[in-house]
Every structure is written in structure tokens, then in C-alpha cells.
Amino acid sequence: MNIFVTGATGVLGRPVVRLLIGAGHRVYALSRSEANTTAVRQLGAEPLTANLFDRESLFMALQATRADAIVHLATHIPPTGQVGKRSSWLENDHLRRDGTRCLRQAALATESVQRFIYPSYAFLYPDSGANWIDARTTPVQLHPVLYSTLEAEAAVMHFASQGRLGVSLRLASLYGPQSGVTREQIDYAHKGLFAVSGSKVAYFPQLWKCPPASMTWPTTSRSRAANSPACWLMRWGARISCLCLGR
């Protein structure tokens, strides 16, 4: 399968591209700079120069690659110290809202693109007792930062309404050795600081490593997170343990 990927050099993009290539897919990655082009080639993908906010530019790229699927991973998450500033999220909003819309328009103008995978996000899920927490049964706690990703979900659903496959995966927060946010949180923990949002018993969905989106899932919005998510109180306890161990 020919797969067109945006955000290929990001925290999520790098492992996804490697896994897609390992599964035998041919991956074309959007590149906006020489540095990106080099990084994309090192991942084993083929770089393509296009403008994410220009429908015609994207259409030409999709046509040239005869892409069967789009995996739209482009985001711009601000550093931990700036997440409270609404202005810090504007570039991310632009990528999610406008970039997704342009990609959808370009994809629908082709005959080859039949699948559109988008990684959405939800900050917190409320305690739902014994009920399974997922995107279909648990409403998103609305916040201005989430408006753009919900608009992107709507764009994916519109793509699917045209007889094609569209999947929005509401991912959890990514953590691990390649995550800048994880390193920042560890640095804060060493300083005796920890940034929290919401109730101390609110559940915070997390993912250690995310596999590439399945190309056979039905059109839907799904949540991808650990089976046993940690609440804020548990996460704070983990930071205290980290400090006590001197790590």
C-alpha cells in the first residue's frame, strides 16, 4: 500500500513510519525543509515537498504517489511550561484544523486515496465507574485547545461520508525516551515541581508506544490508551518515588 504521512519526523511519526515500512508499505512523507528531507530518508521513507495548507499542492503530491491512504500525524505541541498559554497552541490549531481540511479536500479530489487516519486527542476522561471508557460512550471534556482537533475529526467523518474509510484515533498522551514532554516532566520532578490539570482523581490516558493505525478498522472515533490509566494522584506518587530514588 502507498501511504502518505504528515508529521513523519515527530515523536509519533518516527515509530509509525518505521512500523509501516516494516509491514511492507511504501511510505511517502511530507517534508518542509532540507533537515526534514534528510530525517525522512533516514527513516526509510521517500520525502515529498508540498504545502500542507495548499489543496492543489497536496493534490499533486497524492496523485504523483498514487497514495492509497493518508496518515495525518502533523502536530505542534508546546513545551510543558507554555501549555497554559492559549497562544502557544495556535500553530497546533492551524495544523489540525486547516491542515486536515486541506488534506481532506485534496484526498477527495483523487480516486486512489480511500483511507484517512487521524490521531485526535482528549485531555481527561471522567471516572465512569464500571463502564468502559472510550470515545463512543464518554463525552470529551471541552476545552478551547480541543476545538481544532474536534473540527479535524469532523473533517475525517466527512471524508468517510463520501464512501471511503475515515478513522480518528483519540490517542492518549505519549510518554517514553523519545518524548520531549516526558523529559520535561522528569526535570520538573527533580526540582520538586509537577504540573497538573483537573481533579486529582481524574484519569489521564497514556500510551507508551503506539502502533500504526490499522488499515481495516471501520469508520469511527476510537480511543487508544493503556487499559489501566493512572489518575493524577497516582502520577504524582510516581514522581515522588522517582525523586526519592534519586532518578
Q: Which CATH architecture has domain 2-172+215-225?
A: 3-Layer(aba) Sandwich (3.40)
110, 100, 43: which is closest to 75 by C-alpha? 100
d(CA 164, CA 50): 23
d(CA 231, CA 242): 17
Amino acid at position 38, single letter? T
**pLDDT tens digits, 206-239:** 544 444 444 444 555 555 544 455 554 445 455 4
Q: Yes or no: say if 23 and 212 are a contact pair by the CB < 8 Å rule.
A: yes
Tell me the three cell numbers of residue 229.
Answer: 490509566
d(CA 16, CA 210): 8
133, 138, 169, 164: which is closest to 152 by C-alpha? 169
**pLDDT > 70 fraction of the chain, expressed in percent and rounded:** 67
**pLDDT tens digits, 98-148:** 999 999 999 999 999 999 999 988 766 667 777 777 767 777 777 888 899
From first CA to last CA, the distance across the chain in angstroms is 44
**Confidence (pLDDT) at 215:** 41
Q: How many angstroms separate the Cα of 58 from the Cα of each of 62, 99, 180, 225? A: 6, 10, 29, 31
The DSSP-derived string for 31-48 is: E-SHHHHHHHHHHTPEEE
d(CA 138, CA 125): 7
User: Residue 160 pLDDT more than 90?
Assistant: yes
- What is the average per-residue pLDDT within 64-76? 95
Strand, coil or helix: 14? helix
Q: Yes or no: say if 219 and 156 are a contact pair by the CB < 8 Å rule.
A: no
Compare 188 and 214 and report the one with higher pLDDT: 188
**Confidence (pLDDT) at 144:** 87
Strand, coil or helix: 72? strand
52, 60, 150: which is closest to 103 by C-alpha? 52
**Confidence (pLDDT) at 172:** 66
**pLDDT tens digits, 37-62:** 999 999 999 999 999 999 999 999 99
Q: Looking at residue 228, what DSSP letter applies?
A: S
